[in-house]
Structure 1
């Protein structure tokens, strides 16, 4: 019986499974980001995170223990060098899993697994957001009752609409993943191409969509986008019942 045993064997023998996780961990440490299935990524995370924790303490014993798991000198050098420097201040959670949707052929759940501290785009976005938040905050601790009463009422009335306009601008864009056949990764690609709403997707040319998918790599060229315009048009017009009936006839963006 499997009481308390939650490890996924991944339909492999013990030796095959260990060799596969060793290779995946080596690729993750060397390239900082790899694409694999969700099941393998979850097992890889349990395998590699204790190794990353041990790498933060560069000692002879830790190098020996890690070498038993990875068995690759170049990976050990990269792990105890650049990777250890980046994760030195992080207490845990060194990896991130980003789901990409199902792949064609075996319909397996695919994802990206990456080292959190090496995603420069997300780090820059988080820093910019924190800076913007710091700039917009205003403290009232130093102002007394006299200063508050001296503020003209017209000034308060003029600043309120500005806040409403700002919040309206921030809420632009639709959730394109509601369209059958569009996952989070494809929605991100379409947003980068300037397609952020159902109306823009409904009016977009097939060449524009295919070009956005082609720039992301050959695996995205396999997606059939012929029904996306029709679905987006129904979503734009609020015809949710008709949209659901259409999506029931579709599977992964293709008509059955």
Structure 2
């Protein structure tokens, strides 16, 4: 158990919500970020509090710098410290080939998945760095196996944004390793979440499960356990690294 504080972006559903529940169960005070729909986030807060934990929700679009700044200010006012950040917020658009994509789609994907992660990482480092009076901490960036596989014919823009997130993970890990901060990534594969519906194919995991060596899609809880391990003291000598939670795909 711990009395540490964690901020999880995009935490109202799917992998983010699973991370929030598991973090709370392990004693973290949890700041749950959502972009627009606050109802699921508030329901998650209630579930955590009903289980004896501490949590609160902050609505903020991480692609907007002013909203990121406000979110961190609310976190400072509520808990006064930050020990862990999970950059989980991510979006994709409907499946299509690169030749069909326009600039506005690509910019929208990168604004949340890349710029948002940079901004949140920046604010986390400012609070965690031992060179700035912080107590150290850990960051986990939730990437995707698509960053390696390419997601051809579906989401090459999403895959490219996650590849950029992987580079952020490696570069930032080296920058802050001497300041008490570890930075790692988790790359989920085919996970049963609502994100597939937002891409236009709710049954995508079922369609592709036979391409997974383990023969099934994964669950959000399975990703959350990898995230929480990387945040824990058990991973004290691990930084700039990745865990693929993908059933071997």
Q: TM class by shorter-chain length?
A: under 0.3
Per the normalisation by structure 2, the TM-score is 0.24
Structure with max Cα Rg: 1
Indicate the structure whose relative CO is greater, using CA pairs within 8 Å and at least 6 residues apart.
2
Per the normalisation by structure 1, the TM-score is 0.24
Task: From the two aligned structures, give the one with the greater helix fraction.
Answer: 1
